[in-house]
Structure 1
Amino acid sequence: MNIEPSRKMSIFEPAIFGDLKAAAAAKKVEGFELYDLSLGSPDLPPDEKIRKVLSEQSFSANSYGYTLNGTKRFYEAVTDYYKRRTNVILDPHTEVIQTMGSQEGLVHLPLAFCNEGDIVLTTNPGYVAYDAGIKLAGAVPYYMNLLEENNYLPDLDAIPEEVAYKAKLMILNLPGNPVPAMPDAAFFEKVVAFANTYNVIILHDAAYSEFYFTGDTPSSFLTTPGAKEVGMEINSLSKSFSLAGTRIAYIVGNAEMISIMKQLKSNLDFGIFEPIQEAGIAALNNAEEITDRLRKIFAERHKVLMQGLTDLGWTVTPSSGGMFVWAKYPYDMDDKEFAFEVINQTGVVMVPGTVFGSEGAGYVRVALVQDVETLKKAVEQLKSLKIETCATLVNN
């Protein structure tokens, strides 16, 4: 039997994460201690309140039917969370939709709004799921480069008018993955003005909104005047509440756009397991207590890793939030070769920057997914690096 993949499969390149894990596993067999700072999967368990609800609800014999579009209780918990945390008022019936994790929502969303050949404005570097969704829809990405001189924010003024007028969708992620740039109100106001001028739908990926280390409340695009008229925000419970494996997220914002997403989603799945929704409700209803505790832990990790890499002579992107450190290493070496050489010499696992786009050349993404003592040990290990054939400093 001759089995061939579809032509569309050519857009899905094998992910490097498996290769990184395999290289790390090989070193472990040799007796190396590993310091895995690659995947952005929270190492801390969900709060006990969340685990208790999930356990109790899973035991109920009545919890195993289809939930279709999601429960009324979950939608009300989302709207109450937004009102408390960001002062944004949402209608739970028309301005919220549930997704099976943010990645599922992000990959499917371009299908709902883009025709083949439509332009989608996205960032370089950017989260890999954005490109997957754009290409799955047959749309065309236009990359907004995240550069140091622009504080790693997209330069909307640099987008050619002929591109802006043809664009259908813009995807933003602030603070982001892999670059944890933090927007201010003026930037989001500019985004709303751009959307109105060029008739572009805005999707803000707020997966890391609760990972802020300065200020009092999380940042939300929807707090910007006019934002709900031009766009949506997707948020996941994976990071903020350590619920990565449960796959639960939501999109909020413009009612007409949400209605279109509901139509698409009704053809794709039959809803999220009800006990997981109940666990999500417990998380959202106790967000202040849970996220305050997590933030203190991650803020300390952020401080230790930022300082540690800086002391090694690495150029670390300034950040005041997010779950990652974006760093330029001080060697003239291909980032993928560098990542594997670091594993080989030190056991420290990081993700090469070009996984996220061409502007990631010379960078690595380092995740804050180990405790402070482990991060300190990882930095100590990096001190022993010997890159003999590539000793030229990148920033010389």
Structure 2
Amino acid sequence: MDDSEFHRLKRLPPYVFAEVNAMKARARAAGQDVIDLGMGNPDLPTAPHIVAKLAEAAANPRAHGYSASRGIPGLRKAQAAYYQRRFNVDLDPESEIIVTLGSKEGLANLAQAITSPGDIVLVPNPSYPIHPYGFIIAGGSVRHIPVPGSTSLEEFLPALERAVRHTVPKPIALVLNYPSNPTAQVVDLDFYAAIVDFCKRQNIWILSDLAYAEIYFEGVPPPSVLQVPGARDIAVEFTSMSKTYSMAGWRIGFAAGNKTLIHALTRIKSYLDYGAFTPIQVAATAALNGPQDCIVEARNTYKERRDVMIEGLRTAGWDLPSPSASMFAWAPIPKPFAELGSLAFSKLMLTQANVAVSPGIGFGEHGDAHVRIALVENKHRIRQAIRNIRQVMADPSRAIDLYLRGVGDNITPLKARA
């Protein structure tokens, strides 16, 4: 017997990123220098004052017992202060905020709390995998709203209305994620206002993922859905320390907003965990309450990398839109390679250019014409990736032929062809 016998796992498709990751591991084991622009894993260091606070708190012998499942009071107050200064939204730390083990865990556990078998949730496609599969794991079903390119209210609202009109039973919730992972799409407050108005009339919960709120490069900072008057009647929002403070491995995030949803998440988490290690929560409090220079520095670093990436790829013959937020570029597959699809193209990039990217199909079928490129290598490494990609773009037919002849374990490495 294997795990395919288990009911919940039967509902999960093969994890397509695993194929690229396995090839990446084999290439590295063979001594190849793979430039990894696939996984969105921040490479910037956590600010020293945050690490120092962690060490200080961990040195206290009394800090090593069970913590608080919903988060220590000081951290919930610090998150409320963040919402007030950043979005001018006043939240009650006791009833409208809970600390989660990253936004991913929070959304998945809220799905467990509110989803009955057969319930339907609306999710944009492409989207970050936990957005649909958190509800599928919980026993629900998903109706996808296609958003492969840009998101505008004129496109999204009619698609949302059609989805609600033609879905039986009526959807219980809508997931939003702007700035988006993987597409880097952004929306304004008018977008949220229209969606809140529609979902209120339809009695549909809104679950907003705002993990990339502080990674933006131009224009107005990304808004929060909770800025819309009355949004807290139906909306909850997830944020994360992972990208904002380069604390991905620390696993600290938050849910904020509607009291009913926060209470539901609090109840289910009380059965599942005792909260993050207390010193981590103390350090996260120091991050939110302390100097914010590290956020500005990270934002500037990602912007510089973005500019090098976009300009370099354009000169190499790969024209892609410049993201205005997030740490990703959502890149249409170049026309000479379009028929391959995103998984095969990602494998070609790895085997022919030693560059790892994420196949768009991993974020939903409407992402298959794109790949996601993460800004998680320094500018020197990005320039090297561009030089490698330029070789591939110079002769697409040869690159495709070499890839097809080498599919499997017998791959011709880039360094042997250069």
Q: TM-score range by the shorter chain?
A: over 0.9
The equivalent residue for 1:181 is 185
Q: Deviations over 1:146-173 (max 9, x none)?
A: 1436459961212322439801010010
Q: Give distance in 1, aligned partners of 2:176 and 2:321.
A: 18
Amino acid at match of 1:375: I
Question: What is the number of residues matched between the two proteins?
Answer: 390
**Which one of 349, 362, 376 corresponds to residue 355 of structure 1?**
362
The equivalent residue for 2:88 is 87
**Which one of 242, 245, 254 corresponds to residue 238 of structure 1?**
242
SS of residue paired to 1:167: coil
User: How far does residue 315 in structure 1 lie from its aligned partner after superposition?
Assistant: 4.2
The equivalent residue for 2:19 is 19
TM-score when normalising by structure 2:
0.88
The equivalent residue for 2:218 is 214
Amino acid at match of 2:143: Y
Q: Give distance in 1, aligned partners of 2:14 and 2:155.
A: 28
Amino acid at match of 1:15: Y
TM-score when normalising by structure 1:
0.93
SS of residue paired to 1:122: strand
The equivalent residue for 1:394 is none
Q: Give distance in 1, aligned partners of 2:2 and 2:148.
A: 44
Instruction: List aligned pairs for 1:377-396, cutoff 5 A.
Output: 377-385=384-392, 386-388=395-397
| Conserved 8 A contact 1:152-1:179 | no
**Range with bigger deviation, 163-172 or 356-365:** 163-172
Structure 2 CA distance for partners of 1:152 and 1:349, relative to 1, 3 Å: farther
User: How far does residue 389 in structure 1 lie from its aligned partner after superposition?
Assistant: 6.9
| Conserved 8 A contact 1:151-1:181 | no
Q: Give distance in 2, aligned partners of 1:238 and 1:144.
A: 27
Q: Give distance in 1, aligned partners of 2:333 and 2:234.
A: 39
The equivalent residue for 1:167 is 171
Structure 2 CA distance for partners of 1:153 and 1:346, relative to 1, 3 Å: farther
Q: Deviations over 1:319-366 (max 9, x none)?
A: 210110000121121211111111111110001100000111121100
Q: Deviations over 1:357-390 (max 9, x none)?
A: 0111121100010111211111111011143278
The equivalent residue for 2:413 is none
Amino acid at match of 1:189: A
Structure 2 CA distance for partners of 1:210 and 1:153, relative to 1, 3 Å: farther
Q: Deviations over 1:230-288 (max 9, x none)?
A: 20110011111111111111100011221111111111111111011011111111363
| Conserved 8 A contact 2:179-2:222 | no
| Conserved 8 A contact 1:63-1:274 | yes
| Conserved 8 A contact 1:120-1:139 | yes
SS of residue paired to 2:41: coil
Structure 2 CA distance for partners of 1:29 and 1:138, relative to 1, 3 Å: closer
Amino acid at match of 2:87: T
**Which one of 273, 277, 282 corresponds to residue 278 of structure 1?**
282
User: How far does residue 20 in structure 1 lie from its aligned partner after superposition?
Assistant: 2.3
Q: Give distance in 2, aligned partners of 1:176 and 1:21.
A: 23
Amino acid at match of 2:332: K
**Range with bigger deviation, 145-154 or 310-319:** 145-154
**Which one of 296, 315, 324 corresponds to residue 320 of structure 1?**
324
Counting helix residues as a fraction of each chain, which structure ranks higher?
2
Q: Give unmatched runs, 5+ long, in structure 2.
A: 401-418
Instruction: List aligned pairs for 1:130-149, cutoff 5 A.
Output: 130-148=131-149
The equivalent residue for 2:67 is 67
Q: Give distance in 1, aligned partners of 2:96 and 2:383.
A: 44
SS of residue paired to 1:148: coil
Structure 2 CA distance for partners of 1:375 and 1:137, relative to 1, 3 Å: same
User: How far does residue 113 in structure 1 lie from its aligned partner after superposition?
Assistant: 1.6
Q: Give distance in 2, aligned partners of 1:44 and 1:252.
A: 27
Q: Deviations over 1:49-94 (max 9, x none)?
A: 1100111111211111111322111111100111111111100000
User: How far does residue 139 in structure 1 lie from its aligned partner after superposition?
Assistant: 1.2
Q: Give distance in 1, aligned partners of 2:144 and 2:46.
A: 36
Q: Deviations over 1:89-108 (max 9, x none)?
A: 10000000111111111212
Q: Give distance in 2, aligned partners of 1:174 and 1:287.
A: 25
Structure 2 CA distance for partners of 1:101 and 1:275, relative to 1, 3 Å: same
Amino acid at match of 1:242: S
Q: Give distance in 1, aligned partners of 2:226 and 2:99.
A: 17
Paired-residue identity, %? 34
Structure 2 CA distance for partners of 1:317 and 1:113, relative to 1, 3 Å: farther
Q: Give distance in 2, aligned partners of 1:150 and 1:80.
A: 30
Q: Give distance in 2, aligned partners of 1:294 and 1:235.
A: 17
Q: Give unmatched runs, 5+ long, in structure 1.
A: 392-396
The equivalent residue for 2:262 is 258
| Aligned residues: CA RMSD | 2.0
Q: Give distance in 2, aligned partners of 1:287 and 1:125.
A: 36
